[in-house]
Amino acid sequence: MSFPYSLDPNKEDNPYHPFPPESESLLSPSSAKVLHQKDGAREKGISKTTSLEDIEDEGSSSSFSHRKIAPINRYALAGAILASTNSVLLGYDIGVMSGAVLFIKEDMKITSTQVEILVGSLNVCSLIGSLASGKTSDWIGRRYTIILAAATFLIGAILMGLAPSYSILLVGRLIAGIGVGYSLMIAPVYVAELSPTLTRGFLTSLPEVFINIGILLGYISNYALSGLPETLNWRLMLGLAAVPAVVVAIGVLTMPESPRWLVMRGRRDEARKVLIKTSETKEEAELRLKEIVEAASFSLGGASSSSAWQGEGVWKEMIFRPSRQLRRILIAAIGVNFFMQASGNDAVVYYSPEVFRDAGIANRRQQVGVTVIMGLAKTSFVLISAFYLDKFGRRPLLLLGSIGMALSLAGLGLGSKYLQYSDEKPIWAIVLCVVAVCSAVSFFSIGLGPITWVYSSEIFPMKFRAQGSSLAISVNRLVSGVVSMTFLSISREISFGGTFFALSAIMVVGTVFFYFFLPETKGKSLEEIGTLFEDRVENDQYKLLLS
C-alpha cells in the first residue's frame, strides 16, 4: 500500500514514524550541513558526524530545547502542580462514585437507569464547561478560569453531600460537571503554555497524574467510610470533594498567568517576567519571548500588541473555514479524545464493583477493596508514563498503551464470558478478570490517559489553542457521558464479556488511527509543532529555512 508523504509511517525522518530519531526536530544528519540562523547574522558549519544534541546554536531557540540534560524548572513545576491539583476533583469524583453509588442505590431506592443517569450526567454536563472554557480562558485568562472551575465544583460537591433527594443530588452533580469541564481543558493548556519545551510532556501530563491520585483517594474514601450507616457514608464520600476544591481555589491565587496569553493581550513585560522565572537563563527567556511574539503576531494578524483581542472569530474559523493544516490538527485532537473515552476506561472505573460482582466477588467490602488495588495500579503507571514521556516521546507510549488495552480488554471479555456460562466460578477466571481490569487501566495510564491531555494542549496554534482544546475535550466529555450512561444497559443486552470484546475492537481501530494520523511532538516548541501538520511542500520549505 502506498501512502501520501505526510502519512507514510515507514519514512524514518517522518514525524509519523512510531519511533522517530532523536534529532527529528532539527535536520536529519544526512542533510544537515549548514544551520541557517533566523536573524541571518551568521552561518555555522555542521559535520555529518556531529551529534545534534551537542549543537549549541546561540541564535536559535532550538539550542535550549535539545540539551542532553533537561532540568525541571522549579517555578514551572510549582505552577504545573497547582494547576493540576484541580484535576484531583474529577479523579476523586470518578473514584468515589464507583463505591458511593452502591450505597446511594440502597438508601434512596433508585433504579439502575437512575444510577446510569446519575453517573453519566457529570460527564455530559462537563460538556458545557469544556465548550465554554476556551472562550472564557481567552477572555479572563487561564489562571482565573482555574479558580472558576474549582468554585463551580465546590458548589456541586456541597449540594451532593447535603442532598435530601435524588433530584437535588442530580442537580449537584450537574453543577460539579460544569466545573469538571472547565478544569479538564484549562489545566493542560495552562501547563503547556507555561512549560519549557523539553519538560513540557512531563509537566503537561501532571493533570492525568492528579486525576489518578484523585481516583485512588476516592477508592480509599469508599473503603474507609463503607462501614458507616448507608444514610451517612455516601454523603461524606461525596461531600469531602469540597476540601480539595477550597485548596485549589486558594492555591491558584499564587500562580503566574500564562506567558502566551499575556502576549496575546499585549502584556509583554509581564510575559517576560514569567518566562525569566520558567527559563534556565535570561537569554533563553528572551528567545522564547521573541518566538511567542512572532507566532502571536502571525496568528492574530498583528493584533498581539493590543489588549482588545478576546478570542473573537476562532470558532467560526475552526468550524467553517479551517486551513488544511488546522483541519489535520482538529482531526488529530478530536480523534485522540474520542478514542480516550471510547476505550470505556471511565465506565470500567465507575462500574468496577459491578464488574467484580459479576465476576464472582460477592462481598461489597471486597468489591471496594479490589478497586483500591486497581487505583494503585493506575496511579503507579501514570507516574511511570509521566517521567518517560519526554524521553521516549508521545507516539511510542500511546501505541504501547492502546495495544495493551486492546489485549487486556480481550482477556477481560474472555474471562467474563467463561464466568457467564460457568456455575462453579473458578478462581483462575476470577483472577483473570481482576488482573485484566488492572492491566487495562494501567495501559490506559501509560498511553491514552496522560498523552491525550498533553497532545490536545500542544498541537494547536496559539490563537486556536484554548478554544480548539475546548472543542476536542467537549468530544471527550460527550463520548464519556454516552459510554457511562449506556454501559450497564449494553452489558445487560450483550453481557459484560460482549461489551469488553467490543471495547477491545475499538482500541484496535484507535491504534491504527494513532499510527497514521498522530505525528511525534517531543522536543519541539509549541510554535514549531504546527509545521508537523503541513503539506510536504510546506514542510520542505520550513526545513529549507533551517538549512
pLDDT tens digit string along 58-81? 333 343 444 444 578 888 888 888
**Listed ranges 170-184, 346-360, 476-490; the one with the highest mean pLDDT:** 170-184
Q: Is residue 215 part of a domain?
A: yes
Q: Which pLDDT score, from 0 to 100, does residue 65 have? A: 40
- DSSP lists the bridge partners of residue 45 as 34
- Say whether pTM exceeds 0.85: no
Domain boundary among 255, 283, 310: 255
On whether both 242 and 103 belong to a single domain, the answer is: yes
In three-state secondary structure terms, 44 is strand
The answer to whether residue 303 scores a pLDDT higher than 60 is no
Q: Which pLDDT score, from 0 to 100, does residue 542 have? A: 45
Q: Which pLDDT score, from 0 to 100, does residue 399 have? A: 95
User: For residues 71 and 253, what is the distance between their CA atoms, to the nearest angstrom?
Assistant: 26
Query: For the residues of 406-452, what is the DSSP string, one character each?
Result: HHHHHHHHHHHHHHHT-SS--HHHHHHHHHHHHHHHHHHHHTHHHHH
Q: Is residue 40 part of a domain?
A: no
Q: Once rounded to an integer, what is the mean pLDDT over residues 394-412? A: 93
The answer to whether residue 128 scores a pLDDT higher than 80 is yes
Q: All 3 cell numbers of residue 511?
A: 491504534
On whether both 540 and 391 belong to a single domain, the answer is: yes
User: For residues 265 and 384, what is the distance between their CA atoms, to the nearest angstrom?
Assistant: 37
On whether both 232 and 87 belong to a single domain, the answer is: yes
CA quadruple 434, 440, 444, 447: dihedral, nearest 10: 130
48-57: per-residue pLDDT in tens? 333 323 333 3
Range in 12-21, 70-79, 362-371, 414-423 with the lowest mean pLDDT = 12-21
The residues near 264 (Cβ < 8 Å, ≥ 6 apart) are: 138, 296, 300, 304, 309, 462, 463
> Of 315 and 436, which is predicted with more confidence?
436
Q: How many Cα neighbours within 13 Å face the side chain of 336?
A: 31
On whether both 349 and 481 belong to a single domain, the answer is: yes
Q: Is residue 202 part of a domain?
A: yes
197-210: per-residue pLDDT in tens? 888 888 888 888 88
Q: Confidence band (pLDDT; 50, 70, 90) for 29?
A: very low
Per the CB < 8 A criterion, the answer to whether 402 and 514 are in contact is: yes
Q: Is residue 26 part of a domain?
A: no
The residues near 220 (Cβ < 8 Å, ≥ 6 apart) are: 372, 375
The mean pLDDT of the chain is: 78
Q: Which pLDDT score, from 0 to 100, does residue 332 have? A: 94
Planar angle of CA 404, 406, 411, nearest 5 degrees: 95
Cβ count within 10 A of residue 540: 12
Q: Which amino acid is at 81?
A: I
Q: Is residue 216 part of a domain?
A: yes
User: For residues 232 and 178, what is the distance between their CA atoms, to the nearest angstrom?
Assistant: 26
Nearest C-alpha neighbor of 291 from the set 65, 454, 60, 71: 60
**Listed ranges 128-132, 228-232, 397-401, 528-532; the one with the highest mean pLDDT:** 397-401
- H helix runs in 141-199, sequence order: 142-162, 166-194
Q: Once rounded to an integer, what is the mean pLDDT over residues 355-361? A: 71
Range in 49-58, 188-197, 513-522 with the lowest mean pLDDT = 49-58
- Give φ, ψ of 44 to 5 degrees: -130, 125
Q: Which pLDDT score, from 0 to 100, does residue 250 have? A: 81
The answer to whether residue 43 scores a pLDDT higher than 80 is no
The answer to whether residue 3 scores a pLDDT higher than 80 is no
Per the CB < 8 A criterion, the answer to whether 425 and 400 are in contact is: no
> Of 182 and 226, which is predicted with more confidence?
182
On whether both 362 and 249 belong to a single domain, the answer is: no
Range in 275-279, 302-306, 378-382 with the lowest mean pLDDT = 302-306
Q: Once rounded to an integer, what is the mean pLDDT over residues 282-294? A: 87
User: For residues 514 and 509, what is the distance between their CA atoms, to the nearest angstrom?
Assistant: 9
User: For residues 327 and 321, what is the distance between their CA atoms, to the nearest angstrom?
Assistant: 9
On whether both 333 and 203 belong to a single domain, the answer is: no
228-274: per-residue pLDDT in tens? 887 888 888 888 888 877 887 788 778 888 898 888 888 889 999 99
Q: Which amino acid is at 431?
A: V
Nearest C-alpha neighbor of 178 from the set 214, 116, 208, 136: 136
User: For residues 457 and 546, what is the distance between their CA atoms, to the nearest angstrom?
Assistant: 26
User: For residues 442 and 342, what is the distance between their CA atoms, to the nearest angstrom?
Assistant: 16
Grid look-up 549543537 returns 55
The residues near 424 (Cβ < 8 Å, ≥ 6 apart) are: none
Per the CB < 8 A criterion, the answer to whether 279 and 288 are in contact is: yes
On whether both 378 and 518 belong to a single domain, the answer is: yes
In three-state secondary structure terms, 34 is strand
Domain of 218 in residue numbering reads as 73-255
Q: Which pLDDT score, from 0 to 100, does residue 434 have? A: 83
* Residue percentage of the chain with pLDDT more than 70: 80
User: For residues 3 and 336, what is the distance between their CA atoms, to the nearest angstrom?
Assistant: 21
Q: Which pLDDT score, from 0 to 100, does residue 451 have? A: 92
In three-state secondary structure terms, 42 is coil
DSSP 522: T
Q: Is residue 164 part of a domain?
A: yes
Nearest C-alpha neighbor of 93 from the set 11, 9, 38, 156: 156
CATH code of the domain containing 214: 1.20.1250.20
Q: Which pLDDT score, from 0 to 100, does residue 379 have? A: 82
On whether both 337 and 416 belong to a single domain, the answer is: yes
In three-state secondary structure terms, 49 is coil
* Residue percentage of the chain with pLDDT more than 90: 15
The residues near 57 (Cβ < 8 Å, ≥ 6 apart) are: 35, 37, 44, 63
Q: Confidence band (pLDDT; 50, 70, 90) for 335?
A: very high
Domain count across the chain: 2
On whether both 88 and 165 belong to a single domain, the answer is: yes
On whether both 540 and 462 belong to a single domain, the answer is: yes
DSSP 308: T
Q: Is residue 392 part of a domain?
A: yes
How many residues are present in the chain? 547
- H helix runs in 227-323, sequence order: 233-239, 242-251, 259-264, 268-277, 282-300, 314-320
Q: Which pLDDT score, from 0 to 100, does residue 337 have? A: 94
The answer to whether residue 350 scores a pLDDT higher than 90 is no
Range in 239-243, 302-306, 348-352 with the lowest mean pLDDT = 302-306
In three-state secondary structure terms, 461 is coil
In the chain, count H helices and then E strands: 23, 2
Domain boundary among 255, 284, 305: 255
Q: Once rounded to an integer, what is the mean pLDDT over residues 480-505? A: 87
Q: All 3 cell numbers of residue 83?
A: 494547576
On whether both 392 and 491 belong to a single domain, the answer is: yes
Domain boundary among 221, 255, 289: 255
Q: All 3 cell numbers of residue 438?
A: 488492572
On whether both 102 and 222 belong to a single domain, the answer is: yes
Q: Is residue 446 part of a domain?
A: yes
